[in-house]
Amino acid sequence: MDGRLLFAGFQDNGTTIYDYNDFKDKPSFDLTIDGESLYYGWRFSDFASDRDELGNTTGTLMLKHAWKPIQLKVITSCCGFGFFSRSMEIVNLSEETAIGLTNVTPLKGCLWSITDNVADNLRDDTVAPYSVGRFKDLYWANEGNFAWQDVPVNTGIFFNSTFGMSGHGSPFFYSAQQYQRRLLRVPDGLVL
C-alpha cells in the first residue's frame, strides 16, 4: 500500500485477521540505507511461493525501491507450527554509487493486537497480556539460563547485546500472548 509492505496478523489457520486499513501505518520491515529509513517507496517486482516436502511454506517477495538503486528480496518462511522466520537479500543496482547499510529489521509490526481495555481481553486482569522468554546469560555452561519476563500493557521492550563470541547476543527470543496462549519465535532486535 503506497509503496510500503504492511504487517497483517494471522490466525492459527494462516489467514489474516485484520481489516485492510487496521494497520495501514505498521510496516512489515525496516531497512535503513545511508541513515534513511526505507520502509516506504517500494514497487512490486515479483513473488514466488514454495513448499518443501514437510509442508513448510516460503514466500519470496521481490521489491525495487523508487528512489534508491536497491533491489530487495524479502524471504518469509512458516514451519506450520506458528513460527515465522524472515531474511532479506539487499542488492545495490548502481555501479557508480556505494550504499551504506545502517540498520536492518527484517520482521517488525504488531504481533498480536488487543485493545487497551484489558478486562475485555483477559480472563484474569492480574496477568500481563504478553511475556517474553529469552536467554539471560551468554557465559559458558549457562546455556539453560532461560527466563520469562512479563510485558505490561502499553510497554515497549527491546533485547539486544553486543556481548558474545560474535559480538551479538542470542539471535532470538520467544513472545507469548498470555490470554490465548500463543507462542512466537522472534528474531533478535525486533521491538515489541
Per-residue pLDDT band at 64 (split at 50, 70, 90): very high
pLDDT averaged over every residue in the chain: 70
Q: What mean pLDDT is predicted for residues 90-95? A: 91
Is the per-residue pLDDT at 62 higher than 50?
yes
Q: What whole-number distance in Å separates Cα of residue 128 and Cα of residue 80?
A: 27
CB 134 within 8 A of CB 185: no
Per the model's pLDDT, the better-predicted residue between 185 and 150 turns out to be 150
| pLDDT (tens digit per residue) in 97-149 | 888 888 887 777 665 555 555 555 555 556 677 778 877 776 677 777 888 88
Q: What whole-number distance in Å separates Cα of residue 130 and Cα of residue 178?
A: 5
Q: What whole-number distance in Å separates Cα of residue 104 and Cα of residue 117?
A: 33
pTM of the model: 0.53
Contacts 24+ apart (CB under 8 A), 39-45: 39/4, 40/2, 40/3, 40/4, 41/3, 41/65, 41/66, 41/67, 41/68, 42/3, 42/4, 42/5, 42/66, 42/72, 43/3, 45/71
Q: What whole-number distance in Å separates Cα of residue 44 and Cα of residue 65?
A: 9
Grid cell, residue 11, equals 490466525
Lowest pLDDT segment from 128-137, 147-156, 163-172: 163-172
Per the model's pLDDT, the better-predicted residue between 139 and 73 turns out to be 73
Angle subtended at Cα 50 by Cα 45 and Cα 53, rounded to the nearest 5 degrees: 170
In DSSP terms, 62 is beta-bridged to 46, 73
